[in-house]
Amino acid sequence: MLYKEDWDKSKVRLEALWQNEIVDRCCVSVIAPKKDSKWKFGPMPDTQEELVKFYMDGEQILKRETEKFENMYFGGDGFPIIWTNFGTAGHAKYFKGSRFQFAKDTVWFEPVIKDWEKDHLVYDPEAEILKKEYETMNFLAEQGKGKFFVSMPDNCGVLDALAHLRGTDHLLFDLLEEEDHVIAAAATIQEALKDASLKQFDIIRGNNDNGSTHGWMMTWSKGRQLQLQVDFSVMISPAMYEQFAMPELEYMTNWLDNSIYHLDGQEQIRHLDMILSLKKLNAIQWTPVAGQPPTSDFIPVLQRIQKAGKGLVLIPKKHEIEKLMTGLSSRGLILVINDAEDEDEARAIVKRVTELTQE
């Protein structure tokens, strides 16, 4: 790979991750500026027209990302990847009548299901926005061969997508009053996600060393991998989680070759036993939510995840490495460190992780 000479070694480690195994050390990604690099991420555009191009224009993305790759050191198992960031639970855009708007750090959706009896949810495989996503991914995948990887979009969470389409407040009431409509809509979204994902997997496979990647978790798989999530679940009870979320998770973990559940903060701990019961779920990614304690404060919970035979994807601050690695098994563990100052510090972090690796 053009920007990473030791990809073959990292590939072996990252594949072992799915088996909850270890090769020579736990996986660690540390991407930092090269020595003497002056590169900085430029300002985000302001207008909607410019934002659409920022997220969707292949040539603009390629120019911006290539400049970044040339100035970054990919330490440990970090690798150059373009995250096709088309919005979290962005598959909500693939339905007829959907309304959305790009913003500086996300995509906002306007609810379109006003009346369950009148506003039927219809997947549109020919939607212009979906065709544009395919076009952008195709372009980047062709340009990236031998140079960098291209990720799957952030299409995750059936209930999260439904919250976009219905509105979170309305959906919360619907769980009590419109169960049949919610279950039917979730099934429609699930099939749409699967259909679009199959095409997207096919687009990026040839570019991604005949596999698939995640844009910010820094994982690679020989097969199909996706992030699973139910961020909506911080507002519901375990009983509702079991009824409305678990069917999706059972289905998706059985359909995918590899899967990671994005656990968004401490409010989801009440659902953890159910998540751990998913036999084919490979790993859980712990998110240190703003305003909550850091990742290293939850070592007992993380140990519980490991004891259940699941891997861990952690994105801690660099000062947490010692505490985490002395408290956890290195098997099935990947640390994604995003706050290294420069190449020298990135190398030092990888060295220290190697020293701390334990069974």
pLDDT band for position 105 (cuts 50, 70, 90): confident
Query: Taking 90 as the threshold, does the pLDDT of residue 66 lie above it?
Result: yes
Alpha carbons 266 and 275: distance in angstroms, whole number = 14
pLDDT for position 88: 93
pLDDT for position 41: 86
The tokens describing 31, both together, are: 């991407």
pLDDT band for position 63 (cuts 50, 70, 90): very high
Q: What is the mean pLDDT of residues 313-318?
A: 98
Burial 340-354 (b: 16+ CB within 10 A, else e): beebebbbebbeebe
Residue listed under structure tokens 């030092």: 348
pLDDT for position 42: 85
Q: For residue 85, which of 99, 70, 103, 59 has the smallest C-alpha distance?
A: 103
The tokens describing 137, both together, are: 């991914």
Q: What is the mean pLDDT of residues 214-238?
A: 96
pLDDT for position 133: 98
pTM: 0.96
Specify whether the backbone of 97 is left (phi greater than 0), alpha (psi in -120 to 50) or beta.
left
Residue listed under structure tokens 């009870």: 237
223 close to 212: Cβ distance less than 8 angstroms: yes
Other Cβ atoms less than 10 A from the Cβ of 302: the count is 20
Query: Taking 90 as the threshold, does the pLDDT of residue 288 lie above it?
Result: no
Q: What is the mean pLDDT of residues 283-308?
A: 96
Query: Taking 80 as the threshold, does the pLDDT of residue 359 lie above it?
Result: no
pLDDT for position 36: 87
- Residue 173's contacts (CB-CB under 8 Å, 6 or more residues apart) are none
Other Cβ atoms less than 10 A from the Cβ of 173: the count is 11
pLDDT for position 351: 98
pLDDT for position 84: 96
pLDDT for position 104: 86
Residue listed under structure tokens 């190398």: 347
The tokens describing 322, both together, are: 């010692």
pLDDT band for position 237 (cuts 50, 70, 90): very high
pLDDT for position 103: 92
Alpha carbons 65 and 70: distance in angstroms, whole number = 9
Q: For residue 213, which of 2, 3, 18, 9 has the smallest C-alpha distance?
A: 18
Q: What is the mean pLDDT of residues 281-291?
A: 94
How many CA atoms, within 13 angstroms, populate the side-chain half-sphere of residue 143? 17
The amino acid present at 248, given as its one-letter code, is E
pLDDT for position 64: 96
Query: Taking 90 as the threshold, does the pLDDT of residue 304 lie above it?
Result: yes
Tens of pLDDT, residues 164-208: 999 999 999 999 999 999 999 999 999 999 999 999 999 999 999
Burial of 81 (0-12, 13-18, 19+ CB in 10 A): buried
Burial of 334 (0-12, 13-18, 19+ CB in 10 A): buried
Q: How high does pLDDT run on average in the chain?
A: 96
Reduce the DSSP state of residue 93 to 3 states and report it: helix
Q: What is the mean pLDDT of residues 212-238?
A: 96
Tens of pLDDT, residues 119-137: 999 999 999 999 999 999 9
The percentage of the chain sitting over the pLDDT mark of 70, rounded to a whole number, equals: 100
